[in-house]
Copies of this chain bind each other. A is one copy, B any other.
């Protein structure tokens, strides 16, 4: 029997979430080593030279980038399709995934979520209110304006659910965890798209773990998840002391 796919990375990362939603939707068995990347050891650096999560390890390959992982899962396990069938739409879906991962990542993770959640919980630092204010008044509106220009009036971005919806919603889930709400009067299409996508069973199942981890110090994540029945891997790449200097969570 084939071993389950191993995923290294925390449930609180939007990039891990994107991959876990893929695994859930495609019905692929997986186990997780739920580390926050700041706490990865040297073996983790060898697997993920940019110290990013998620890392996927299976019987054929080790991969350390969520976009590459999702494309691989789509090719190896085609059902259900999570990329548009049309070549031009598929390219646009990948572009929106890249926009979500990069630009929404900068704004919602590295500024908003980092200031409101990571800095206090991991580094014991105070939130910088001026960064939060500038992000909310300038950068977030630009991002949401662009998405609003790309989203349809109803339903998913390309008709059927795709990588683009999943990537956008994965990022917006972290925004929600940092208590950000989309103004549905100003950005009705984005608000509707995100609600629809985060309402899927795959996202709802993961949300249970996410909520609990938000109230749990990183060093206790594994123990708490074990108690909750999460599909944990037997061994871990975690250390007790966080390091700075990696690029993506």
Contact = CB atoms under 8 A, between A and B. Distances in A.
A49 B143 CA distance: 9
Given A98-B67, A98-B68, A146 B91 contact: no
Contacts of A88: 60-61, 72
A1 interface: no
10 contacts: A49-B99, A49-B142, A49-B146, A60-B88, A61-B91, A67-B98, A69-B91, A71-B91, A75-B87, A102-B247
A95 B67 CA distance: 9
Nearest to A64: B95
Nearest to A89: B61
Contact of A95 (B68, B75, B103): B68
A76 B90 CA distance: 11
A94 interface: yes
Q: Which 3 A-B pairs have the closest CB atoms?
A: A72-B91, A60-B88, A61-B88
A65 interface: yes
Interface string A33-68: 000000000000000011000000000110111011
A92 B63 contact: yes
Nearest to A72: B91
Q: Among A49, A63, A92, which residue has the most Cβ atoms of chain B within 10 A? A: A49
Contacts of A94: 65, 67-68, 71-72
A12 B27 CA distance: 45
